[in-house]
Amino acid sequence: MVQDFKASLPSKGISSDASATLEKLRRQPSFLMVGTIEPRKGHQQALDAMEKLWADGVNANLVIVGKQGWSSDSLVQRIAQHSEYNHRLFWLNGISDEMLDQVYRNTQALLAASVGEGFGLPLIEAAQYGLSIIARDIPIFREVAGKYAYYFNGDTDALAEALKDWLSLGNDVPSSSYLSWLTWHQSSRQLVDIVLGEKWYKHWVTSVTDEEV
């Protein structure tokens, strides 16, 4: 999480062309995706949806921050060879924490398109920057962001329409500023309470009786 992250000696360094990139992000709405490029993260659907917006004359950026993961060779090649690459499509691979901080500050919304997540740390990071959240409507994102995110469902067309709708909301987009979270210290204390204090969040109920064992 950002506050704990900064306390753990974040990496420094911004490349010489970073200022030009950040200026491009500021010129028009920029949707930010943070995480390893892999199938479940939804990068391909997001790019498909953005292509529909660009074809319809919508000026907006898609910014991808993260390293290449598994089963993503064709998508990475598509990004690198895209006509909008470094114009309205950006892949920032291996950037420092200092640069990531600037990217969060110069984009308008976090796009969390994952079809499955264990938690979704970028949602918390986005909230700490006051960045709007556009998230796929899956249980973990609902648990983390609650009413403080704009949710979407469905295929590429549905995502494209959701992005258009979000852009049309202006100042009425859900604000992530009131989203609450635990620090690493609070999370570790909660874990200790669960393991040692038996303060369980849920209990497993079985229908097997002692006589049946």
Every domain of the chain and the residues it spans: 2-180
Q: What span, in angstroms and rounded, lies between the C-alpha atoms of 153 and 16?
A: 39
Cβ density class 129-146: b for 16+ within 10 Å, e for less: bebbbbbbebebbeebbe
- Answer with the residue of higher pLDDT: 147 or 191: 147
Predicted confidence (pLDDT) at residue 146 exceeds the cutoff of 70? yes
Contact 48, 156 (CB under 8 A): yes
Q: How many residues does the chain have?
A: 213
Which residue spans within 106-162 are E strands per DSSP?
Answer: 109-112, 132-136, 150-152
Q: Would you give the distance in Å from CA 64 to the centre of its chain? A: 10
Give the pLDDT confidence of 75-87 residue by residue, as tens digits. Answer: 999 999 999 999 9
Mean pLDDT estimate for the chain:
87
The CATH homologous superfamily for domain 2-180 is Glycogen Phosphorylase B; (3.40.50.2000)
Give the pLDDT confidence of 112-137 residue by residue, as tens digits. Answer: 999 988 888 999 999 999 999 999 99
For residue 16, the model assigns a pLDDT of 75
Closest CA to 68 of 29, 34, 37: 37
